[in-house]
Amino acid sequence: MSELISDTDLVSMFIHLGIDRDSAEHFRGRIEHRLLINRCSECGTYHQPPRPICPRCWSTSIVPTAVSGNGTIDLLIFLHQGPPAPGVDYTTPYPVASVGLDEQEGLRFTATIIGSPNDEIAIGERVTLDWIDRAGIPTPVFRLTGDAS
């Protein structure tokens, strides 16, 4: 499906997120609700955000790889004000979390948390990936799993 989307449409869909050629496949993955993180096919190391070579071994053999989306909240803030975005209302402080993904120590992905009241969201909570539609743009989010880390 995503191959049917032209570069022009892909760029216009994700221009506000700073899409470039090195991150294009990651954003194509979003259209299919797949969270693609660059992984080196030689040394197996993931890196984030997408870079043109493996920062660990300098291999150019980089494969955008779907991750499970399971992880632990490492960093957490609540925006009481912020940039205008469709469907985002800061009257209830808006959570933003950097989630340490289970695939690799220190590999994080940043998104909002949905489905739980703010007082239940905390650093150390386990989460899993989900997707929402934000003004026609597929957007990755996390939900608490209720498991302790």
Partner 1 sequence: MSTSSRNPMKDQVAFAGAASTGFSAHNTERTPLSLAAEACTTVLRECGLKASDIDGICGPSTVSAGDVQNTLGIPEITWWANPPIPFVNQVVMAASAVHAGICDTVLVYHVPYRHAFFTASALRDPFRRVLAPIAGGGNPDTMWGPVGYTAWASRYIHEYQVPKEHFGLVSISDRSYARDNPLAAMREPITMDDYLNARMIRWPLCLLDMDVPVDGSDAFIVTTTERARDLPFSPVLVNAAVLGMVDANVEDQNVSLEHHGHHVVAKALEAKSDFWIDDIDVYFPYDGFTIITLNWLENVGFCGRGEAGAFLESNWDAEQNRILINGKVPVNPHGGALSEGGTQGSGHLREAIHQLQGRAGVRQVPDARRTLLTAGGFFYNAQGLALHRE
Find where tokens 């790889």 sit: 65
- Residue 16 or 21: the one with the smaller Cβ distance to partner 1 is 16
d(CA 41, CA 49): 17
- Residue 66 or 88: the one with the smaller Cβ distance to partner 1 is 88
What is the DSSP code string of 60-93? S-EEEEE----EEEEEEEEESS----TT--TTSP
Q: Is 114 in the site for partner 1 (CB under 8 A)?
A: no
Please report how the helices 7-14 and 24-31 are oriented relative to each other, as an axis angle in degrees rounded to 10.
Answer: 90
How many residues interact with partner 1 (rule CB under 8 A)? 33
- Residue 4 or 15: the one with the smaller Cβ distance to partner 1 is 15
Q: Is 115 in the site for partner 1 (CB under 8 A)?
A: no
Q: Which of 2, 12, 32, 55 binds partner 1 (CB under 8 A)?
A: 55
Q: Which of 5, 31, 96, 144 binds partner 1 (CB under 8 A)?
A: 96
Touching partner 1, residues 20-39 (CB under 8 A): none
- For 93, list phi and psi in degrees, rounded to 5: -50, 135
Q: Which of 25, 74, 102, 103 binds partner 1 (CB under 8 A)?
A: 74
106 φ/ψ sector (left φ>0, alpha ψ -120 to 50, else beta): left
Q: Is 110 in the site for partner 1 (CB under 8 A)?
A: yes
Token readout for 83 is 């940039």
> Which residue ranges make up the site for partner 1 (CB under 8 A)?
16-18, 48-49, 55, 74-85, 88, 93-94, 96, 98, 106-112, 123-124, 139
